Structure formats: structure tokens, C-alpha cells
Amino acid sequence: MNRRDENKWPAILFFLASGLFFFGCVWYLWAGTVTPEKYRPDAGSKTASFQDRIARPDGPIMLVRDREVRVDGARIVYRGSHAGRLHLDLYILALDPHYGYPHRIEEKSARQGFVIGSHHFQLIAAGDDSICLRRM
């Protein structure tokens, strides 16, 4: 009788482990999945709110974080700076006005001049919330 009870434990453990595994899979599929918004940033925060701020061709251009400035046939949006790099998005109005092409520019090289789209700029001043550019 004792020998027969000893043979039941492997079967009991197997079915218990299988049941827990099945329950875990069902729980993961039901409650553990992550919505796509957590994988991608919110689409509303990445698109520019198109309020026409037009840059003058002769003066400096002040870019405030997450606000666009229209420069000829494009819009430029400053997204901030991280680890000495400026994060800018370029919206080409003739091509696709709703898609921003990301640009990452080293701050040191930006002070000597850089090209974004077909425009040449030079960084005058930079901060976390705004930057000031001059056309070259």
C-alpha cells in the first residue's frame, strides 16, 4: 500500500505544475500584456501643434521645447537635449507635414554650424527648454 502511494506523487506534481503553467499563460494573455502606447511614445506629444510661428530670414530663431517654428517649406521642433546632443524634428511640408524626421546633433559641432534639411544654422545658445539659432 505504501509503495502505491509513492507512485502517485510524481503524477500529482506533474499535473499541478502543468495546471499552474496553464493558469500563468492565461493570466499573462488576459492581464499581463502591455498596450502599444507603452512601447511607443504618445503620438499626440510627438506631432507638432501647427500654430504658425514663422522665422524671420534676417533674425535669430528661438526654438522652444515641443513648439514648432516654420522655416521656409519646413517646420523645426526642438525636443530637448540629452548627453550633449540636441534633439530636433524636421517636418517637410511638401513631402509629409505630419511626420517628423528626427535629427541628433552634437552641441559642440552645432556651435560651428550644421545643416538640417536644406537649411544651414549655427547654434548661438542652448538650454534644456530652448535653443537659439542663427541662419548661415
Listing DSSP states for 83-129 in one string gives TTEEEEEEEETTT-TT-EEEEEEEHHHHTT-EEETTEEEEEEEE-SS
Query: What pLDDT is recorded for position 38?
Result: 60
Note the pTM of the prediction, 2 decimals.
0.59
Q: What is the mean pLDDT of each run of 10 residues along the chain (136 residues)?
A: 69 93 88 63 49 73 88 89 90 88 92 88 89 89
Q: What is the pLDDT of residue 124?
A: 92
pLDDT at 18: 96
